[in-house]
Structure formats: C-alpha cells, structure tokens
Amino acid sequence: MSSTPLAPTLSAPGSPNRADPPSPRKRRPMRNATRVVPLLPAVVLLVVFLLGPVISSFYGSFTNAALTGIDAADQQFVGFQNYVELFQDPDFPKSVVLTIVFLIASAVVGQNVLGLGLALLMRSANRVVRGVVGTFVVAAWVLPEIVASFAAYAFFHDEGTLNTFLASLGVSGPNWLYTYPMIAVILANVWRGTAFSMLVYSAAVQEVPEEITESAEVDGATGWQRLVYITLPVIRRSISTNLMLTTLQTLSVFTLIFVMTGGGPGTNSSTLPILAYQEAFQFSQLGFGTAIATILLVVGAVFSIIYIKALKPEVD
C-alpha cells in the first residue's frame, strides 16, 4: 500500500498567515513599563514628603506668613519683599560669613582632612589601634544629636571638663562658649562628624591597588608623593561625594549650636539655621524665616556644583 507524501503547504503571497510573535523591540516598552510599577509607591512618597515641602517652603518665602498677629489669619503674597528686607538686614551678612566659616573649618577641612588621616592610619595600624581609634571616633557619631550637643556643652563650659583639665595643669582656661563661641562649635562639629568621613575614606582607600603603591615606594616615592599622586586621584569620586554630604549636613546643623551657644553671645555664633529659627519662631515671621532657609538651600546647591565640577574624574 503506497502512501502519498504530504507536500508542505505554502501560502500564497498576500494570503493571511499565522501572527508572528512580537519582536524584542516591541516588547521592550512594555517590559520597561512593568519595571517602573514597583517604583511608583516610592516615587509618590518622595513627591509628597520631599518635593512637596520644598515647593511649599519656596512659595512661603514669597508670602507674609506669620505665627501670630493679623498676618497669621490673612496670609498674602508679597513677592520679593522678604528677600529685599533680608539683604537689608544688618545681621544677615554676618550670619552668612559665620555659616561659611563654620562650613569650611568644620566640614571641608576638619572632618574631611581628619577623616582621611584616620582612614590612612587605620589601614596601616594593627588591630588594637584600629579598635581603640574606631571606638572613640564612631562613638561620637552614633550618639543622638541632642546627647552629643550637651556633651560638647559640658566639655566647653566655663566650669566644664576642658577648663578643669587645664586647671590641673596650672592653666586658667577662658569661657570658651562666651569668648570663642565659633571655635567651640567648630571643634564640636568636627568631633561629631569625623566618623562618617573616616568610614567613607576607609572604604575608598581599600580600592587603591597595593602593587602601584609598592612600586612607587620601590622607585623612591615618599609617603606624601604616594598620597598626592596615587591615593587622592584614585579616590576622587569618594572625596567629591563625601564633601557634598558633609557640606549639606553641616549647613543644616542647628541643635549643636543652639544647645551650646544659642547663637550668642549676641549674634557671634548665629549661623543661617539659627537666624532662620529666630526669625520664624521667636519673632513669628514665618515667611521671612523661610526666605533664609531658601538662601541656605541655594548655598548648599552652589557648593555641591563646585565639588562635582572640581573633582570630576578626567576619564570615567
């Protein structure tokens, strides 16, 4: 019995055929949209709780909002009046200078330089030294801010730990919080925030290839030359990131200064956060205080852009 082979059925050109599966290019938008769905709750929370207050505060700086009085019941848009009055305020330029001094001395120089030095020390030290240094440095960082602030206040007080120690050496110490308030708060902020910089740089220096530093040492390079020409270029990204983070954190320091000096004596330690608090809550000028906070935001953005441009690697 012979069987007739079945010839393959060929569809004529133009005749309907089975639908081809969608190409990867067509599936890509659907796949990308699916990946975005899990992020929507986080995006909504960021918009509501981060972007929302920023926009609200920015708008508030253009109003005569107040906590008490007629303006509290009848808030009105006043345009740039708050900013004009702010730049005419004799306390504002002094507060800006104090803020920049506090920022550069305690964050840019103090925390970053000391943090990098401790990171290099921890890399070459034995286990005992690493444990002792790490414990003392990190302890200040993990303390609640209000506890660390009162500890710094007790240390620099006229009858505090520092002057008691100096008295035991036969030296009469000054009233640090009254005579040298900015020095006291700068040193306190360095003590408070160095641990973060140390941890960032400790992780960064581990990425420096040891064979390169060993070769440079064999070629006669000094420790300073190895630091400048090998270590620092390798960790430029970490330096830029850490400078940005410590700058933004230091610009927002309020509790430490408020507990130690309250911005005084007079206005000798009144940085922009302290001035904004005084105007908004002590003098009830909420719109005026919000304008100061907006200026503070601009200062932080300017410093961040400078860090990114100055420390951008030549080759990504």
pTM comes to 0.82
How many Å apart are CA 264 and CA 271, to the nearest integer? Answer: 10
φ, ψ of residue 158 in degrees (nearest 5) = -55, -35
How many Å apart are CA 45 and CA 172, to the nearest integer? Answer: 55
The token duo for 219 is 């070629």
Indicate left, alpha or beta for 303 from its phi (over 0: left) and psi (-120 to 50: alpha): alpha
CB burial of residue 1 (10 Å; 0-12, 13-18, 19+):
exposed
Please report, as a single letter, which amino acid is at residue 105. A
pLDDT at position 70, please? 82
pLDDT tens sequence across 109-135: 999 999 999 999 888 777 887 788 878
Distances (CA, A) of 143 to 18, 108, 146, 259: 69, 22, 8, 15
pLDDT at position 217, please? 84
For 31-61, letters b (16+ CB in 10 Å) and e give eeeeeeeeeeeeeeeeeeeeeeeeeeeeebb
pLDDT at position 31, please? 67
φ, ψ of residue 37 in degrees (nearest 5) = -55, -45
Beta partners for residue 63, in sequence order: 77
Tokens 């400790």 identify what position? Answer: 202
How many Å apart are CA 191 and CA 16, to the nearest integer? Answer: 78
CB neighbours of residue 211 within 10 Å: 7
pLDDT at position 316, please? 46
Q: Any idea which fold 91-310 has?
A: MetI-like fold (1.10.3720)
pLDDT at position 1, please? 46
Report residue 57 CA to chain centroid gap. Answer: 20
How many Å apart are CA 151 and CA 139, to the nearest integer? Answer: 12
Positions of the chain with pLDDT under 50: 1-3, 6-10, 315-316
